[in-house]
Amino acid sequence: MRLGIAIDSRMCMSCYCCFTACKDEHCGFDTKLSKAQPQMGQFWMDIREWERGDSSRKIKTATVPTPCSHCKDPACLKAAKDGAVYKREDGIVIIDPEKSKGQKQIVDACPINAVYWNEEYQIPQKCTMCAELLDDPEYLAYLGDPKLKKPRCVESCPNNALYFGDLDDPNSEISKAIAANKVTQLEALEGQETNVVHLNVPSVYLAGTVYLPKEFEEVAIGAKVTLTCKECGSKWETTTNYFGDWEVEDLPKNDHFDIDIEFPGYKPLKFTDIVTDKDHYVGMSYLTV
Ligand code: SF4
Ligand code: SF4
Ligand code: SF4
């Protein structure tokens, strides 16, 4: 059994219920596995908002809730001395609150900055995947069925953005969610296997605005926009909306694109070699006769 959390960015609405539930579970008292999480300054479930876009005309955000990823081969464990970080049989990575005293290098080792330094106790701290709760016989007795157990953040999410379960069981809810969605691992983790899996984090968009010739002072509604990837040959088609804007989301990263814009009665427009190294607004383009 390998316990994990899947996080669907597309479903996250930044309500902070998961963050608050984590605080409720871990602030104010110690558990068997961790010292109390401070009220301020630590974000075991960190609701990260990525600002996207390179133009004030087109700004978007992606919400990426980020706890510890419970890595298969954790960098924090390698950096720790005297067994201060250990991995349980179910894959959950735990920082021992006693053995880790003074070991600030554990904070620095995490590639996604999921470990926080507690000045008062002089220890590193992070998400425990609520293992102390999952292990608690009273909690399991209350639930009646061990399959119902969930970390507090997962239990609290009102929008089904979080899944929990056994990653080794292909029939578990979490395994089905991972199979049905696009896995979008955090780049800093460099492809290593983790028990926390991010889903549907958007990659890159290209966008622009199409205008009729300048003298009309009007946008072109319904212009056909075709994006062609020079590396893979795939095409994406869209049309400009009521405001003359077009946008294609989730494009492959670091590829080169040609963009063709057609509108009946006007000369076609073309952009060449647009690179998807970042979210990019290609600009306002004016049609000519
Ligand atoms: S509770 Fe769910 S929807 Fe709200 S911030 Fe957390 S993951 Fe997003
Ligand atoms: S995400 Fe960071 S803290 Fe969590 S297991 Fe991986 S290296 Fe350790
Ligand atoms: S699994 Fe538990 S400790 Fe980890 S972020 Fe969620 S509520 Fe906090």
pLDDT in tens, 45-85: 999 999 999 998 899 999 999 999 999 999 999 999 999 99
pLDDT, one tens digit per residue, over 258-282 is 999 999 999 999 999 999 999 999 9
> Probe ligand 2: pick from 7, 44, 71, 107, max atoms within 8 Å of CB?
71
Domains of the chain are: 3-199 (3.30.70.20), 204-286 (2.60.40.10)
Q: CB of 67 closer than 6 A to ligand 1? A: no
Q: pLDDT tier at 28 (50, 70, 90 boundaries)?
A: very high
- Spatial separation of the C-alpha atoms in residues 202 and 214, rounded to whole Å: 34
Atom of ligand 2 nearest to the CA of 126: 3
Q: What is the mean pLDDT of the chain?
A: 96
- CA 259, CA 52: separation in Å to the nearest integer? 21
- Percent of the chain at pLDDT > 70 equals 100
Single-letter amino acid code for the residue at 157:
C
> What pLDDT digit, counting tens, does each position of 212-256 carry?
999 999 999 999 999 999 999 999 999 999 999 999 999 999 999
94 C-alpha to ligand 3 centroid (Å): 12
- pLDDT given for residue 185 in this prediction: 94
Q: Please report the sign of the dihedral spanned by the C-alpha atoms of residue 241, residue 242, residue 245, residue 250.
A: negative
Contacts of 58 (CB under 8 A, 6+ apart): 207, 245, 247, 279, 281
153 sits in which H/E element: helix 152-156
Nearest ligand 1 atom to the CA of 156 is: 1
- Whether 33 shows a pLDDT value over 90: the answer reads yes
Going by the DSSP 8-state scheme, the letter that residue 35 receives in this structure is P
45 CB less than 6 Å from ligand 1?
Answer: no
Which of 197, 200, 140 shows the shortest CA–CA distance to 166?
Answer: 197
pTM for the full predicted model: 0.91
pLDDT at 146: 83
Residue 25 CA to ligand 1 center (angstroms) comes to 16
Angle in degrees, CA 11, 16, 44, rounded to 5: 105
Please state the atom number of ligand 1 nearest to the C-alpha of residue 65: 7
Please tell me the predicted confidence (pLDDT) of residue 147: 82
Tell me the CA–centroid distance for residue 107 and ligand 2, in Å: 9
Q: Residue 38: its pLDDT value, please?
A: 95
Q: Which residues sit with their C-beta closer than 6 Å to ligand 2?
A: 68-71, 74-76, 93, 110, 112, 114-115, 126
Alpha-carbon span 275 to 114, nearest angstrom: 31
